[in-house]
Amino acid sequence: MWTDVFGRNAPVEIDLGAGDGVYAEARAKREPEINFVAVERLLGRATKIAKKAVRNDLVNLKVLRIESWYFIKNLCSPGSLAAITLRYPDPWPKRRHHGNRILNRVFAEDASRAVEKGGLFKLTTDDLEYFEWSGKEMAQCPTWVLEPTWTGSNEPTSEFEELFAKEGRNVYRRAWRKA
Protein backbone atom coordinates (compact mmCIF):
# COMPACT_ATOMS: atom_id res chain seq x y z
CA MET A 1 0.00 0.00 0.00
CA TRP A 2 2.65 2.56 1.03
CA THR A 3 4.61 1.76 -2.12
CA ASP A 4 1.55 2.86 -4.12
CA VAL A 5 1.11 6.03 -2.04
CA PHE A 6 4.74 7.17 -2.32
CA GLY A 7 5.68 5.52 -5.61
CA ARG A 8 8.66 3.87 -3.97
CA ASN A 9 9.54 1.31 -1.34
CA ALA A 10 11.02 2.94 1.79
CA PRO A 11 10.51 2.83 5.57
CA VAL A 12 7.34 4.65 6.64
CA GLU A 13 7.11 6.83 9.74
CA ILE A 14 3.87 8.37 11.01
CA ASP A 15 3.56 11.66 12.91
CA LEU A 16 0.25 11.48 14.78
CA GLY A 17 -1.52 14.74 15.60
CA ALA A 18 1.04 16.57 13.48
CA GLY A 19 -0.30 20.06 14.16
CA ASP A 20 1.07 22.55 11.66
CA GLY A 21 3.72 20.08 10.47
CA VAL A 22 6.92 21.81 11.64
CA TYR A 23 8.34 18.52 12.90
CA ALA A 24 7.21 16.42 9.91
CA GLU A 25 8.61 18.97 7.46
CA ALA A 26 11.98 19.04 9.24
CA ARG A 27 12.19 15.24 9.32
CA ALA A 28 11.20 14.92 5.66
CA LYS A 29 13.88 17.45 4.63
CA ARG A 30 16.54 15.87 6.82
CA GLU A 31 15.76 12.23 5.97
CA PRO A 32 14.77 11.94 2.30
CA GLU A 33 15.28 8.16 2.51
CA ILE A 34 12.20 7.85 4.79
CA ASN A 35 8.55 8.22 3.78
CA PHE A 36 6.61 10.37 6.28
CA VAL A 37 2.87 10.54 6.84
CA ALA A 38 1.54 13.44 8.92
CA VAL A 39 -1.86 12.62 10.46
CA GLU A 40 -3.98 15.53 11.66
CA ARG A 41 -7.69 15.84 12.28
CA LEU A 42 -8.08 19.60 11.81
CA LEU A 43 -8.52 20.68 8.20
CA GLY A 44 -6.68 24.00 8.57
CA ARG A 45 -3.60 22.34 10.07
CA ALA A 46 -3.63 19.46 7.57
CA THR A 47 -3.79 22.00 4.73
CA LYS A 48 -0.78 23.86 6.16
CA ILE A 49 1.24 20.65 6.17
CA ALA A 50 0.23 19.84 2.59
CA LYS A 51 1.31 23.32 1.51
CA LYS A 52 4.69 22.86 3.23
CA ALA A 53 5.20 19.56 1.39
CA VAL A 54 4.32 21.07 -1.99
CA ARG A 55 6.27 24.31 -1.47
CA ASN A 56 9.41 22.39 -0.52
CA ASP A 57 8.93 19.66 -3.11
CA LEU A 58 8.90 17.03 -0.37
CA VAL A 59 7.81 13.93 -2.26
CA ASN A 60 8.46 11.90 0.92
CA LEU A 61 5.84 13.76 2.99
CA LYS A 62 2.10 13.06 2.72
CA VAL A 63 -0.69 14.33 4.94
CA LEU A 64 -3.95 12.71 5.92
CA ARG A 65 -6.82 14.51 7.59
CA ILE A 66 -8.17 11.72 9.76
CA GLU A 67 -8.53 10.51 13.34
CA SER A 68 -5.25 9.02 14.54
CA TRP A 69 -6.77 5.99 16.19
CA TYR A 70 -8.93 5.18 13.13
CA PHE A 71 -5.94 5.52 10.84
CA ILE A 72 -3.74 3.20 12.89
CA LYS A 73 -6.51 0.66 13.47
CA ASN A 74 -8.04 0.47 10.01
CA LEU A 75 -5.70 1.87 7.37
CA CYS A 76 -2.27 0.51 8.29
CA SER A 77 -1.55 -3.06 7.29
CA PRO A 78 0.23 -5.25 9.82
CA GLY A 79 3.95 -4.53 10.12
CA SER A 80 3.80 -1.75 7.53
CA LEU A 81 5.29 1.05 9.68
CA ALA A 82 8.88 1.60 10.78
CA ALA A 83 7.93 4.09 13.50
CA ILE A 84 5.13 6.14 15.03
CA THR A 85 5.76 9.54 16.60
CA LEU A 86 3.32 11.13 19.04
CA ARG A 87 4.36 14.61 20.13
CA TYR A 88 2.46 16.63 22.68
CA PRO A 89 -0.86 14.81 22.37
CA ASP A 90 -3.82 16.59 23.94
CA PRO A 91 -3.57 15.42 27.58
CA TRP A 92 -7.29 15.53 28.51
CA PRO A 93 -6.39 15.97 32.20
CA LYS A 94 -9.86 15.48 33.69
CA ARG A 95 -10.52 11.86 34.63
CA ARG A 96 -13.92 11.82 32.92
CA HIS A 97 -12.20 12.86 29.67
CA HIS A 98 -9.50 10.17 29.72
CA GLY A 99 -11.52 8.25 27.11
CA ASN A 100 -10.51 10.96 24.60
CA ARG A 101 -6.81 10.28 24.97
CA ILE A 102 -5.20 8.86 21.84
CA LEU A 103 -2.89 6.60 23.77
CA ASN A 104 -4.67 3.83 25.64
CA ARG A 105 -4.33 0.07 25.81
CA VAL A 106 -6.47 -0.54 22.71
CA PHE A 107 -4.36 1.93 20.75
CA ALA A 108 -1.19 0.25 22.07
CA GLU A 109 -2.40 -3.07 20.61
CA ASP A 110 -3.39 -1.50 17.28
CA ALA A 111 -0.07 0.36 17.03
CA SER A 112 1.83 -2.82 17.82
CA ARG A 113 0.07 -4.60 14.97
CA ALA A 114 0.82 -1.78 12.51
CA VAL A 115 4.52 -1.40 13.39
CA GLU A 116 7.13 -3.83 12.07
CA LYS A 117 9.23 -5.96 14.40
CA GLY A 118 12.03 -3.75 15.76
CA GLY A 119 10.04 -0.58 14.97
CA LEU A 120 9.60 2.31 17.40
CA PHE A 121 6.82 4.19 19.13
CA LYS A 122 8.07 7.57 20.38
CA LEU A 123 6.18 9.74 22.85
CA THR A 124 6.96 13.31 23.86
CA THR A 125 4.71 15.20 26.26
CA ASP A 126 4.79 18.09 28.71
CA ASP A 127 2.21 16.40 30.93
CA LEU A 128 3.71 14.19 33.64
CA GLU A 129 0.45 12.52 34.57
CA TYR A 130 -0.21 11.63 30.90
CA PHE A 131 3.37 10.38 30.60
CA GLU A 132 3.03 8.02 33.55
CA TRP A 133 -0.43 6.89 32.47
CA SER A 134 0.91 6.16 28.96
CA GLY A 135 3.61 3.94 30.43
CA LYS A 136 0.96 1.87 32.20
CA GLU A 137 -1.22 1.62 29.07
CA MET A 138 1.72 0.58 26.87
CA ALA A 139 2.76 -2.01 29.45
CA GLN A 140 -0.59 -3.77 28.86
CA CYS A 141 0.72 -4.76 25.44
CA PRO A 142 3.69 -7.10 25.95
CA THR A 143 5.11 -6.64 22.45
CA TRP A 144 6.14 -3.07 23.36
CA VAL A 145 9.45 -3.01 25.21
CA LEU A 146 10.96 0.19 26.62
CA GLU A 147 13.85 1.44 24.51
CA PRO A 148 16.25 3.02 27.01
CA THR A 149 18.70 4.29 24.39
CA TRP A 150 16.17 6.68 22.83
CA THR A 151 16.40 10.13 24.39
CA GLY A 152 14.76 12.22 21.67
CA SER A 153 17.84 14.44 21.53
CA ASN A 154 18.06 14.02 17.76
CA GLU A 155 14.47 15.06 17.19
CA PRO A 156 13.69 18.36 15.48
CA THR A 157 11.42 20.79 17.25
CA SER A 158 7.68 21.34 16.70
CA GLU A 159 5.19 24.14 17.19
CA PHE A 160 4.14 23.03 20.66
CA GLU A 161 7.70 22.21 21.69
CA GLU A 162 8.66 25.82 20.96
CA LEU A 163 5.63 27.08 22.82
CA PHE A 164 6.28 24.98 25.92
CA ALA A 165 10.01 25.78 25.88
CA LYS A 166 9.14 29.49 26.08
CA GLU A 167 6.92 28.73 29.07
CA GLY A 168 9.79 26.80 30.69
CA ARG A 169 7.77 23.59 30.98
CA ASN A 170 9.38 20.21 31.63
CA VAL A 171 9.25 17.72 28.77
CA TYR A 172 9.02 13.94 29.14
CA ARG A 173 10.16 11.56 26.40
CA ARG A 174 10.07 7.81 26.05
CA ALA A 175 10.20 5.24 23.28
CA TRP A 176 9.16 1.61 23.02
CA ARG A 177 10.46 -0.94 20.56
CA LYS A 178 8.29 -3.65 19.05
CA ALA A 179 9.68 -7.01 20.16
Residues acting as catalytic residues:
90
Site string for ligand SAM, 6-45 (x = CB under 6 A): -----------xxx---x---------------xxxx--x
Q: ∠ CA 103-159-136 to the nearest 5 degrees?
A: 20
Number of residues located near ligand SAM, criterion CB under 6 A: 21
Other Cβ atoms within 10 Å of 14 Cβ, number = 27
User: How many Å apart are CA 172 and CA 179, to the nearest integer?
Assistant: 23
Burial degree of 167 (CB within 10 A; 0-12, 13-18, 19+): exposed
Sheet holding 61-65, edge to edge: 61-65, 35-40, 12-16, 81-87, 115-125, 172-178, 144-146
By CB under 6 A, name the one of 135, 147, 159, 171 that touches ligand SAM: 159
Q: Which is nearer to ligand SAM, 26 or 34 (CB)?
A: 26
Q: Which is nearer to ligand SAM, 145 or 162 (CB)?
A: 162
Does residue 164 bind ligand SAM (CB under 6 A)? no
Supply the minimum distance, in Å, between the C-beta of residue 29 and ligand SAM.
Answer: 17
Does residue 90 bind ligand SAM (CB under 6 A)? yes
Residues interacting with ligand SAM, by CB under 6 A? 17-19, 23, 39-42, 45, 67-69, 87-90, 102, 158-161
